[in-house]
Amino acid sequence: MAVPSHIRSFGKHTLLYGVSLAALLFLINWLQIRYLFIDHAMDIYIGGIAIIFTALGIWLALKLATPRKETIIVEKEVYLPTPPAPLPANAHFVLNEKLLEKFRISTRELQVLQLMATGLSNQEIATHLFISLNTIKTHSSSLFMKMEVKRRTQAIDKARKLGLIP
Amino acid sequence: MAVPSHIRSFGKHTLLYGVSLAALLFLINWLQIRYLFIDHAMDIYIGGIAIIFTALGIWLALKLATPRKETIIVEKEVYLPTPPAPLPANAHFVLNEKLLEKFRISTRELQVLQLMATGLSNQEIATHLFISLNTIKTHSSSLFMKMEVKRRTQAIDKARKLGLIP
DNA sequence: TTAGAAATCACCCTAAAGTATGAGTACAGG
DNA sequence: CCTGTACTCATACTTTAGGGTGATTTCTAA
């Protein structure tokens, strides 16, 4: 579903990039012929090298890149001093994605919600996500509207009961 | 401590891409000028081209193949040996009274904490308990001091992890 | 190509939360 | 009786949260 669209998108962009690269090389060649009197065949050779290694880079990246992932929150529990007791396996939380769609909650809004639930302030959330405080406010405001709550504590409580956060 | 990680962001690529291309062009020309004077730099030149375009390919692929959905891993700190039973989530909630004594949390403070966790504002808590808003503030302040937190959301999160509230 | 969603950021303003300090009342235990 | 604790309330102040508006950019889908 989502993958084919990305493949199409990728191919399109790659083609675009290829054309751009060709134009670029042509420009370089032209400039060199005009001003540097470089051997023409050498430039084609260099261009070939460039194209080949660009393709190699793309192939490498696609081969090694992390696969496409869902928005899943994995709750890893870290225990302190507990001598004998076998630990409760409350580890896995499965996100209720239907409700996310129902409330039209976006990825970023969910992230903000999750960080809210850990007790972070808006400023701290902004720092963690490398975005500005104002953006966090925007996200939280729209989140509260979508969830039909008035406060962050209410949003957290409701989200827990709905299975939106652990 | 909660450590969200692996937050990748690929924004503002257009400008970056333009600058990169410009820099690349300049670099190519510079290298070729060098090549005019240093015959033996040919290998270095080719190698540089290969490396640069490989990196470009990797960057390009990563940019185009960036997953829209991301994974958040939250490490949850569990502080003390949860009394007797491996808890079946929210089914049975047993108040951890030892922790109440340990933190010296009073009855009224616990009530305020519990109401906080349901998303009520201080004013609403005051109304619910038939006492003044100032008193709620006093309770919450001392509660935060005792729990060593700075915000109500943090108190709620910590209290849940400690088994002080459901 | 265009419309819409998503994400980003800014500015202004109000409301709520939180801090600090002081103080009065009630009650249990030494 | 006295002391400590819990509970109550107040005033003044600072910080954070939240609402409203507008704007830009990127990407997707029609």
pLDDT of B98-110, one tens digit each?
Answer: 778 889 999 999 9
Residue reference for tokens 């937050």: B7
Per-residue pLDDT at B24 exceeds 90: no
Q: Give pLDDT, residue B20.
A: 63
Per-residue pLDDT at B112 exceeds 60: yes
Q: Give pLDDT, residue A76.
A: 40
Residue reference for tokens 């400690």: B162
Residue reference for tokens 């996200």: A139
* Separation between Cα atoms, residue B142 and residue B132, nearest integer Å: 16
Residue reference for tokens 């957290």: A156
Question: What are the residue ranges in chain A where pLDDT is below 50?
Answer: 1-15, 38, 63-89
* Separation between Cα atoms, residue A147 and residue A100, nearest integer Å: 10
Q: Give pLDDT, residue A99.
A: 79
* Geometric angle at alpha carbon A72, from A70 and A73, rounded to 5°: 160
**Which tokens in the block code for residue B50?**
């290969």
- Whether the beta carbon of B129 falls within 7 A of nucleic chain D: the reply is yes
Closest nucleotide C1' to the C-alpha of A141: D18
* Separation between Cα atoms, residue B64 and residue A9, nearest integer Å: 8
**Which residue in chain A is spatially nearest to B3 when comparing CA positions?**
A128
Q: What type of residue sits at position B97?
A: E
Q: Does B32 touch chain A (CB under 8 A)?
A: yes
Q: Does A76 touch chain B (CB under 8 A)?
A: yes
Higher-pLDDT residue of B69, A98: A98
Instruction: State mean pLDDT over B24-38.
Output: 65
Q: Does A9 touch chain B (CB under 8 A)?
A: yes
Q: Give pLDDT, residue B102.
A: 87
Residues 79-98 of B with CB under 7 A from strand D: none
Q: Give pLDDT, residue B97.
A: 77
CB pair distance less than 8 Å for B58 and A53? no
Q: Does B12 touch chain A (CB under 8 A)?
A: no
Task: Give distance CA A48 / C1' C12 (Å).
Answer: 57
Q: Give pLDDT, residue A102.
A: 87
Per-residue pLDDT at B34 exceeds 70: no
Q: Give pLDDT, residue A59.
A: 59
Higher-pLDDT residue of B7, A53: A53
Q: Give pLDDT, residue B131.
A: 97
